[in-house]
Chains A and B, each alone.
Chain A
Amino acid sequence: MNFTFNDDQLLFRDSVRDLLSNEVTAERIRQRWDSDSGVDSAALQSLVDLGLTAALVPEEQGGLGLNTVDFILIAEECGRAALPEPIVDSCLVATPMLVDADRALEGSDSRLGELLQAIASGDQTVLCGPSINPYINFAHSADYLLLPHGNEVHLVAIDAVQLELQTSVDLSRRLSKVSWQPRSETCIARGEMGADLWRSTLNRGALANAAQLLGLSEAMVARSVQFATDREQFGRPIGVNQAVKHLLADCAVKAEFAKPAIYRAAYTVAVAPTRADWSVSHAKASAGDAARAASRNCTQVHGAMGYTWECDLHIWMKRAWTLDREWGDAGFHKNRIHEWLLQPNALLGPQYTFGRRHLGDAVNPTIAV
């Protein structure tokens, strides 16, 4: 039992954080808003160079062979920076889906292995569009999409789909509604295998958003602390007032307790992604809660400035609003927990925080590990 990150994981996190704080500034995010693609290729390339796209690709396919736990802090950093490019969606969600499919097929579909190599080197991008999300963010920038048809998983080239662009309240996002025709040659999995892949993918997507929401919350609070220190009223910084302090302290408490839920979910997803529903829903619901509180309270701390287009706060706030609803909103995730709590055989109580392995019983079918 050791609920900490190792030095390598922390080092990876630090280097991504450094890079993002230099390369992904509010100013450069705003520049993306005026471009068609919405992508800053220089920033994207430096993330590829750092190994993000290779991270979760197996070593045999030219990747780093890392897992969800290794990447979870990276996702948090992408949230902290309000990174517009869908790095987390592709690296932490679509890539592992392909890896899982390739494993389940025992490498029999050579397209998958080749694609994973191209993903690792940053040459190609894959995104997925599960039925729970009405749109795919940055679909136009992907080479392939993973799309559902019932339980089937289809790997569809981007030129075989029609995209209808939608404008998000968060101008950093580039949403598309996707129209496409399922064909037998695009189908890479079906039946139980397909259902498992989608189930894991939903969990990974929700986890990816939870981690980003945490980073977003902390970033909003940090900006607001700075603002409350600099801005003076009545001859002293507004931050000396308890009413202001307590708004931000409340956000800190929520974020602090979303953290370990996210890390446990990352671990559970790494070990048994189809059995991570409970822990992932906990992570997503609590991270969403933290991010909604931060969005509201941080706007309040900024006064009228927080209501302007000019103030950068809304870059983070709008992202928080959107990620909170994508991959299942609070209602979806709390309902999953609610359903589980009502199951007569749900394992409740202090001895089951990490499942029931420790009692030498079979692995808990719901929580895993």
Chain B
Amino acid sequence: MDLIYTAAQTQFRAEVRDWLKAHIPAAPLPSFDTDVGFAAHREWEKTLAQGDFGMVTWPKEFGGRGCDLIDWLIFEEEYYRAGAPLRVNQNGIFLLGPTLMEYGTPAQKKRFISAMASGSEMWAQGWSEPGAGSDMAAIRCRADRDGDEFVINGQKIWSTRAVFADWVFCLLRTDPESSRHHGLSFILVPLDAPGVTVRPIPQLNGLPGFAEIFFDDVRVSDFNLIGEEGGGWAIAMATAGFERGLMLRSPARFQQASKRLVELYRQRQNDILDLSIEDSVVRCYMDAEAYALSTYQTASRLINNGAIGPESSCNKIFWSELDLSIHETAMSLLGAKAEIEPSSPDADQQLSNWLDGFLFAQSGPIYAGTNEIQRNIIAERMLGMPRR
């Protein structure tokens, strides 16, 4: 155990810090769930790519730097510390990217990864359906083989940022006779293909952060099939592993938020506060640290040829509940002013950020596998409790 950064790691941190300082947009970008905001965030992804900071852990040939996971953590720390824009293409870079690296053919990698890394193609995730939420194996949306093409019919829902994205990676039923997790395939679909209709769904903040996607005889080449036909479930599970395991929510995000919480608390410290606030602030800070430490531990283990174990299913519950606590505590500290919308004369950046974060935190325990499902997974796979 050695908890001191190497000279090279320190050097890398300094490089990231300097680069971000020189390149971060002067004013915060508008929400990426608006037309203008999405375009601005896409530009930012391109800027990142030009600095080779799009996805530092990826191999050089795909626009990365071949960094290890500790460097990734350092990058993320500096990224959140600097208040850089949120990653509009997280579905692509955190979920599909690693999936393609593992399961894509060389031609598929060449076609999709670089475009993703360079910020020119934005991705949405199309797994959930009206009848297939927690029970994802109930997927019905079909992709019927026709020669070297698939013909897609059906519907997806809750697809994050599909309103503005270019592509969606789907889990589709390619074997009409199959049921449950058999006969599903992992297929990439361009959202501008004829027969695709995207219907925005406004979220709690009123913006169209996700969408329904309807497929009506949509034809895609079987080049877009990732892995084996009918083998999509295992690939999707691996993708979900990246999502819950490590990448989706880097610890720096919560450390930065809990730091802002402490600052807010210091401002209000002499006011009359809810009696639980002291405790909540301390807990939030501790938990954000714990999540960071846990990620460093996992990263170190992976670097030393270890594997992500079933205990990684604890992550998602921990960060989503932490995010809720941080924002609930901040709302308490802001008191009756917390409700002020960004468009109000009295609103300022601080109020708006907290309200926005508070609204978004409500979804954390739901997306990426609800926390109830995670608890089932922990009980059954990590603790070994009986399924039935």
Residues of A within 8 A of B (CB): 1-6, 69, 221, 225, 228-229, 236-237, 239-240, 242, 244-246, 248-250, 252-253, 256-261, 263-264, 267-268, 282, 285-286, 334, 337-338, 341-342, 348-351, 353-354, 357-360, 369
Contact = CB atoms under 8 A, between A and B. Distances in A.
Interface of B is mostly: helix
Contacts of B290: 257-258, 260-261, 282, 286
B300 to A, nearest CB: 4
A239 B382 CA distance: 14
B271 interface: no
Given A1-B2, A229-B386, A353-B255, 15 more contacts: A4-B1, A4-B300, A4-B304, A228-B385, A240-B385, A240-B388, A249-B317, A260-B296, A264-B3, A334-B279, A338-B282, A348-B285, A350-B252, A358-B9, A359-B10
B379 A245 contact: yes
9 contacts: A3-B299, A4-B306, A236-B386, A245-B380, A246-B372, A259-B294, A263-B297, A282-B290, A360-B10
Contacts of B292: 350, 353
Given A240-B388, A249-B383, A358 B3 contact: no
A203 to B, nearest CB: 16
A6 B301 CA distance: 11
Given A1-B296, A252-B382, A240 B3 contact: no
Interface in B80-104: 80-81
A9 to B, nearest CB: 8
Nearest to A70: B1
Given A253-B317, A353-B289, A341 B383 contact: no
B330 to A, nearest CB: 15
B291 to A, nearest CB: 7
A342 B268 CA distance: 12
Nearest to A348: B259
Contacts of B6: 1
Contacts of A264: 3, 293
A69 B3 CA distance: 12
B149 to A, nearest CB: 43
B297 A3 contact: yes
A351 B289 CA distance: 11
A252 B314 contact: yes
Interface residues of B, number: 65
Contact of A353 (B296, B300, B304, B380): B296
Contacts of A338: 278, 281-282
Chain A binding surface SS class = helix
A253 B314 contact: yes
Contacts of B269: 342
Contacts of A6: 1
Contact of A369 (B3, B78, B372): B3
Interface string B60-86: 000000000010000011101100000
Nearest to A230: B386
A348 B9 CA distance: 20
B285 A341 contact: yes
A104 B304 CA distance: 38
Given A5-B1, A69-B1, A257 B70 contact: no
Q: Considering the complex of A and B, which 3 residue pairs feature the smallest CB-CB distances, nearest first?
A: A245-B379, A260-B293, A350-B252
B286 interface: yes
Most B CB atoms within 10 A — which of A258, A264, A268, A341? A341
Nearest to B302: A4
B156 to A, nearest CB: 28
Contacts of B311: 252, 256
A285 B262 contact: no
Given A225-B385, A240-B387, A353-B255, A245 B375 contact: yes
Given A2-B1, A253-B314, A267-B1, A334 B9 contact: no
